Chain A
Amino acid sequence: MTDRELAHLIKMANQITINLAYGDSLEQSAGRVSDHIVRFWATPMKNKIKSYAQDGGQELHVITKAAVLRLS
């Protein structure tokens, strides 16, 4: 991947998942991850990761992907 910014965003998003997935349902975990991204990420960052998730988002953790796809 040449886009280092995107690579970093993927890493950051997955890191949020690892720290906010408490072993409860995907729904609950993805909700927390999504909330965190909504509260702390700038719009261009959200847009970038969202379009990556919509394109398949291969490197996103399943919870991360679910969380990112929830972003409005």
Chain B
Amino acid sequence: MLQYYDPIKSSHIVRSHDPTKDYGTPAVITETGYAPKLLSLSIDGQAITLPEGTSLMRAAAEVDVNIPRLCATDSLKAFGSCRICLVQIKGRKGFVASCTTPIEEGMVVRTQSEDIAKLRRNIMELYISDHPLDCLTCAANGDCQLQDTAGEVGLRSVRYGYSGENHLEMEKDTSHAYFTFDPSKCIVCSRCVRACEEVQGTFALTIDGRGFESKVSASQDEDFSSSECVSCGACVQACPTATLIENSIIDNGIPEHSVLTTCAYCGVGCAFNAQVRGDQVIRMVPHKNGKANRGHSCIKGRFAFGYATHKERITTPMIRNNIEEPWRQVEWNEAVEFAALKIRQIQDKYGKDSVGGITSSRCTNEETYLVQKLIRAAFGNNNVDTCARVCHSPTGYGLKTTLGESAGTQTFDSIQKADVIIVMGANPTDAHPVFASRMKKRLREGAKLIVIDPRRIDLVKSPHVKSEHHLALMPGTNVALLNALSHVIVRDGLEDKNFIDSRCEKESFLQWKRIIGENKNSPEALEEAIGVPAKNIIAAAHLYAKARNGAIYYGLGVTEHSQGSTAVMAIANLAMLTGNLGREGVGVNPLRGQNNVQGACDMGSFPHELPGYRHVSIDEVREPFEKLWGVKIRPEPGLRIPNMFDSAIEGGFKGLYCQGEDIAQSDPNTQHVEEALRSLECLIVQDIFLNETAKFAHVFLPGASFLEKDGTFTNAERRISPVRRVMSPLSGKADWQATMALSNALGFDMNYRHPSEIMEEIAKLTPTFSGVSYERLDEEGSLQWPCDSEAPYGTPTMHIDEFVRGKGFFAVTEYVATDEKIGKRFPLLLTTGRTLSQYNVGAQTRRTENLQFHTEDVLELHPYDAENRGIVGGDMVQITSRSGQISLRAKLTDRVQPSVVYTTFHHPGTGANVITTDNSDWATNCPEYKVTAVEVRKIKSNSAWQSQYEAFTKRQEFFLQEAKT
């Protein structure tokens, strides 16, 4: 862990660190194992001892002397431009800026005197002589540091008058959807520019011009919306005036209270203060002490929360007998009774195993736990699965097999100690942007980067970041490449022999080594298949193997393949081979997609595992659950999502309870999924919108957004963070209450009064959660599991002295080419991904202003492939695979290599998954989204599927209208 200076332990002044306070400059961070040099000084007569490197401003703040400042804030390095923070040091001439002056032993500092006060007033007077005096009508009124500081320094008049040359008439930039830039209020403190550089790492802002002409400029003097700005909000956060301010504040005024909660977008799990007026969220502000995000945010978490109150929210339960008839709005009771009766009738007719459910990776741990409990106890089978099936189930399998636990090994903070970073099949700047900023910061400090991706992601080259190696492999050859990397390390004797001897199983290592050493796994033998020259593979292998700390981060580009599990194991092998596990700065780090997909997996959402990743076949695992729940649990695994679909089509599976998951849009081979959904006699959908899946449903239970309930989410670093209710559930029930109602209607009683009671039950039954409770979460802010009596503060880094499974297991990872091969009929390979402004199927983000950042999904193709087909940028093109056909607009770019095409799947009408196939990972059935052989040609109209989709959607929307009238 990071070793922050702890004043309680090392100073004679006792105080606690206040997360709400701005200390002016950042705390000094000391490398683990090194004691900081401590210096003692006196500030306004108060003695204090602090680590070397601390600024005078921060030292003063530590003794509660808060020196006025404008350009300083503790999220940014000291800059020293505003000069308001001047102080005097005994024995020295003149005045120094306290933000840029480090403490020294024996210093005697005065922060207040008549001379200092006069100087500060003079400086403030200059600022105010060129500032609009519209405080009462200003959007930042009551939340303006300039206003506060003018008050603190006692400014009473401006001797210069206001008629001189000024910036008051400068035009506002209102081009951005979420914030306004008003240069007339700018004091040119550079906080926004520095935030964009230091915190976000985009470098979109600069100070243009000199002296009086100086002004903040986005990109090359462009408006914000057309600049390189990525809308993370760091500049808005940093601005001490109303120059950069949220439009929601301009429209509504300053919020009156704040609730600390956790973002419901990606697996980074940022902590946010939901700032609220009554029950209306005015803005989301990243929490400075959030351990996952350290005060940073992205466009989604920061701004895209408006979907929660979107007009398309459905807040009343609805039922119907078949999907070709209008919906009927009913009371909760009638809806759950209707659903329960149907489920029981199906089970009577087709057997106990003919029904199942899908838990939501967007809902809380408590809600997910309840859904799997309902399925195991009330349905009486193990037919429960979650969206991790289609994303990170290979991570679960691969890491459990090799290391013994189905989760990432590190904290996000760990990246600050990494020297070589491999990013494989992940695009953090788009999909995990807040973590990407941390990574970019480390890269700017000198860490080396290896990108393994068929497409040139932004990390390959962006301002002040350049990857050492970009191994642009052909989709489907991950395992070949990983094996080649291991082969080189073994061949060249770069393995960490001590680590392997002491930490890993000898027998499995020797078997693995024998196979990996075969010539067929050499880069020379594989370079043609992989599409990367052997010398580049060798260089990358050397770079990683020789690093002091090598860390691997990976995403769905690794898992969503026919050998997804093999690739995960190959990654774990690589880390064990080089001894890169069990400390900070290293590790195997899956970047999880959805906010609570880690939690959903932890909570027993897989058909073969009870909470805590324990197999259902083990008697000792089932027994405590059976005892507490009062039912027998089946010892055999249940159906996984793709198995449910197959069985539905063949007539064996008839009823599905699907919570917060849009399988009709997100799962591969849409026409197959739709056929399966149409085969169901009872589909219960619980969601906040009438999503694509709900169009095939018989029962609609209105869901609640993350703002409407209490609970917890678990992020990609195993961090359990609280979700707190900000507004009442629009439907009257939070999701856990809806599940309880359904369970009770099914005759299996659930009577929790609050989600904390559900967590108590989870902690009782799950050893890795035994130390987790709402009280402990309130005390610590968040906890990383395993959290038990041995680790009451949680476990930031896993596998420190030994692996969870004991000795590390080298799994054999033979490369098997996918069945999805390019040929004459389908000569291109399609791969898919996400874009920054959108989240997953887009159900939430498309219902916010984020839509304007990504109005449609487009097909990226290389100019070479385009020219061969007579396609120019902007043409409508038809993409055909053996599964189906869709049409999209073409975008020509050399981000993709020739013969590879790429698209996103955020818009349902695009139907990107109409063309993905039902090929899947051999071990887990995770679909092979990332490799589809396709052909592209120019056309004029929509595909047949898209026309059918439009007609079907229109009809279902009519059925919804019928329900409302």
Where the two chains meet, the residues of A that have a C-beta atom closer than 8 Å to any C-beta of B are: 3-5, 8-9, 12, 15-16, 18-19, 22-23, 36, 38-45
Contacts and interface: CB of A to CB of B under 8 A. Distances in A.
A19 B814 CA distance: 7
A1 B121 CA distance: 88
Contacts of A44: 353, 639, 647, 652
B646 interface: yes
B101 interface: no
B362 interface: no
Contacts of B812: 22
Contacts of B607: 42
B333 interface: no
A45 B382 CA distance: 13
A23 B924 CA distance: 22
Contacts of A38: 617
Given A12-B920, A36-B923, 9 more contacts: A5-B650, A9-B646, A12-B925, A16-B923, A40-B608, A40-B640, A40-B924, A42-B607, A42-B643
Contact of B918 (A3, A8, A39): A8
Nearest to A42: B639
B515 A15 contact: no
B566 interface: yes
Contact of A19 (B640, B647, B923): B923
Interface string B898-923: 00000000000000000000101011
B830 to A, nearest CB: 21
Interface of A is mostly: helix
A43 B636 contact: yes
A22 B636 contact: no
Q: How large is the interface on B (under 10, 10 to 19, 20 to 34, 35 or more residues)?
A: 20 to 34
B708 to A, nearest CB: 35
Contacts of A41: 637
B562 interface: yes
A72 B382 CA distance: 19
Nearest to B616: A39
B24 to A, nearest CB: 56
B649 A42 contact: no
10 contacts: A4-B650, A5-B650, A12-B920, A19-B563, A19-B816, A22-B812, A36-B923, A41-B637, A42-B636, A43-B353
Contacts of A4: 646, 649-650
Contacts of B636: 42-43
Given A4-B649, A39-B617, A42-B637, A19 B922 contact: yes
Interface string B590-621: 00000000000000000110000001010000
B608 A22 contact: no
A45 B353 CA distance: 11
A45 B652 CA distance: 11
B615 A39 contact: yes
A40 B637 contact: yes
A43 B880 CA distance: 36
B638 interface: yes
B478 interface: no
B693 interface: no
B511 interface: yes
A39 B608 contact: yes
Contacts, number: 63
Q: Give the one of A4, A15, A23 with max B CB within 10 A.
A: A15
Contacts of B329: none
A43 B643 CA distance: 11
B651 to A, nearest CB: 9
Contacts of B563: 19
A9 B816 CA distance: 19
A9 B383 CA distance: 17
Nearest to A37: B637
Contacts of B652: 5, 44
Contacts of B562: 15
B926 to A, nearest CB: 12
B717 to A, nearest CB: 27
A-B complex: 6 closest residue pairs judged by Cβ atoms:
A15-B922, A5-B646, A5-B650, A19-B922, A42-B639, A43-B636
A12 B383 CA distance: 19
Interface string B613-646: 0010100000000000000000011111011001
A25 to B, nearest CB: 13
Contacts of B515: 22-23
Contact of A42 (B383, B615, B918): B383
Contacts of A42: 353, 382-383, 607, 636-640, 643
Nearest to A6: B650
Contacts of B650: 3-5
Nearest to A41: B637
B637 A39 contact: yes
Please indicate which of the listed interface residues A4, A36, A41, A44 has the most CB atoms of chain B within 10 Å of its own CB: A44
B231 to A, nearest CB: 42
A40 B923 contact: yes
A14 to B, nearest CB: 9
Interface string B558-570: 0000110010000
A22 B922 contact: no
Interface string B349-388: 0000100000000000000000000000000001100000
A12 B636 CA distance: 19
A45 B639 contact: yes
A9 to B, nearest CB: 8
Contact of B649 (A5, A19, A39): A5
Interface string B377-401: 0000011000000000000000000
Nearest to A9: B646
A22 B1 CA distance: 41
Contacts of A45: 639, 643
Contacts of A43: 353, 636
Contacts of A5: 646-647, 649-650, 652
Interface in B778-836: 812, 814, 816
